[in-house]
Structure 1
Amino acid sequence: MSDRVRVEVVQSVAYVTLNRPEKLNGLDLDMLDALVNAARTIETDRSIRGVILQGAGDAFSAGLDFASAGKQPRRMAKAFAKFPGQKTNLFQRACWVWRELPVPVIAVVHGHCFGGGLQLALAADFRFTTPDCTFSVMEAKWGLIPDMTGTVTMRELAAMDVVKRLAITAELFDGNQALEWGFVSGVSDNPIKPAQELLSQIAVRSPDAVAATKTLLHKTWNRSPRGAFWIESRIQLALMRGKNHKIVRTANAAKKLPEFAFRKFG
């Protein structure tokens, strides 16, 4: 694994740490590659039940490292490219892979959460922050737009007028304001604690049902009822035929905690 991103698995939870603390975890091209590779490695380990995404040092991420990226124009051009059949370029993929993981991803945010760092956090399923964390859709400061999947994730979380305001002004806001606007799931002086508590709650549920629920909601959120109902039925039938559903039924009948098999869904 790249030194830009550390991955440590503890009790079936993958702790993924952005590891450029001397640059406030600024996103250079190596870190974008490392984020994609980390997610793909986690996806292949079916024993992992959840992910905590965090930043080393004094910040979650100060966003794209323009100084570093600007020194590699050819690599930058390649990072923007999409080949036939690809949904995302590298900048987008570094965020979107976490949304597509079949396990819950929780971003634990502190310090600065700017630009691409904010879009990375928004690609997680849940976000917990310190009250004094500073957020910004910082792209506007550079005469740019949010283009690392934020156009999808922000619209799911906040009102359009709020998103327009932030994307146009690059206004700074803190953790409590982020909660009020819907960008984070909770505020805590020690945000890793509620993140771990939530993953503990999730761990007693079927890993297949957790993965299926994440897939279901992402696929149906903006679909017509007809399309959503078809996806519901297809996923439910797959779960009912699975081993973990049988394990849950047996455990519930015996009034015991289930001991799940590794995830098969996703």
Structure 2
Amino acid sequence: MTDTVLPDIDPSRVTTTITDGVADVRLSRPEKRNALDAGMFSAIVHTGEALRTAPGVRVVVLSGDGPDFCAGLDFGAFKAMRSGERMSASVALPPSDGPAQATGQRAAHAWAAVEVPVIAAVQGHALGGGLQIALGADIRLVHPDAVLSVLEIRWGLIPDMTGSQLLPELVGRDVAKELTLTGRRVSGTEAVALGLGTRVSDDPRAEALAMAAEIAGFNPHAVRAAKRLLDGAGRQDLRTGFAAEQTEIGALIGSPNQAEAVTARFEQRTPVFTDPV
């Protein structure tokens, strides 16, 4: 069963459908390589934040319509910058209590803040802000011929959509500096070798949907707990991390969904899980 969700989101910017627990989110401005304008920023933020509470969502797949993932800021935004305008600042958004406050930061961090795994399927161009949005996902499947770049320096800028903080964690501080200070473009194959991507795929979206369907078949409470624990790893001291691990496992053992996972496995059948509320 497929339901179109989030009807208040501009479908000329982002579309979302849910099938069997998998939210298929697509940036839908292919004629502009899914470039980021005010409408796109608004739609991305609202979509990500709405998915935090959308019922029945177990995994999210994030991709772009057409040949590209997202080519970064719309050219009109760069023209406006010459007179000091900041297009993203004009986007009307509700207040956020999360660590990301600026519009661009929220467009990227919205995916990290979703409680379920987010898989980005990257093909074509993922440049500047487009790359930073992909970095907000938990897993990135990248076409070997995709083109990725921390492009901001070539426009006289810096990555300001969470990239300055995420890049060193993913690729190491020295590689992050090299990519940021040169703005050079890397292929999907090199991106995976550097740590910008998880693995290469000749059909990233199809593989992302297949992976999402597999994850959606597991205990959704365990999947969310795993994301929480892994997101905290390296960002907190070991005592805190070890304690969190025991708290999570204590809540899982003997819970209805965990009991169902065990029972279904012994009975060699597909488990039927209850989604978190």
Name the count of aligned residue pairs: 264
Pick from 101, 113, 119: which aligns with 2:126? 113
TM-score normalised by L of structure 1? 0.90
Secondary structure of the 1:127 match is: strand
Secondary structure of the 1:17 match is: strand
Quickly say closer, same or farther: Cα 1:263–1:140, change in 2 above 3 A.
same
Q: Which moved more, 1:120-129 or 1:236-245?
A: 236-245
Amino acid in the other structure paired with 2:139 = F
Q: Give 1:119 deviation, angstroms.
A: 0.5
Partner of 2:3: none
Partner of 1:175: 188
Residue 140 of structure 2 is aligned to residue 131 of structure 1? no
Pick from 44, 63, 74: which aligns with 1:65? 74
Quickly say closer, same or farther: Cα 1:54–1:84, change in 2 above 3 A.
closer
Quickly say closer, same or farther: Cα 1:81–1:21, change in 2 above 3 A.
closer
Residue 68 of structure 2 is aligned to residue 55 of structure 1? no
Partner of 2:272: 259
Quickly say closer, same or farther: Cα 1:25–1:98, change in 2 above 3 A.
same
Partner of 1:235: 248
Q: Give 1:258 deviation, angstroms.
A: 1.4
Q: Give CA-to-partner distance per residue, 1:135-164, whole Å, 9 cap, x none.
A: 110111111111111123222221221111
Rounded Cα–Cα distance in structure 2 between residues aligned with 1:67 and 1:226:
49
Residue 25 of structure 2 is aligned to residue 16 of structure 1? yes
Q: Give 1:13 deviation, angstroms.
A: 1.3
Residue 39 of structure 2 is aligned to residue 39 of structure 1? no
Partner of 1:25: 34
Rounded Cα–Cα distance in structure 2 between residues aligned with 1:181 and 1:247:
40
Q: Which moved more, 1:36-45 or 1:249-258?
A: 249-258
Gaps of 5+ in 1: none
Amino acid in the other structure paired with 1:95 = A
Residue 8 of structure 2 is aligned to residue 7 of structure 1? no
Amino acid in the other structure paired with 1:152 = Q
Amino acid in the other structure paired with 1:30 = G
Q: Give 1:181 deviation, angstroms.
A: 0.5
Whether the 8 Å CA contact 2:23–2:59 is kept in 1: the answer is yes
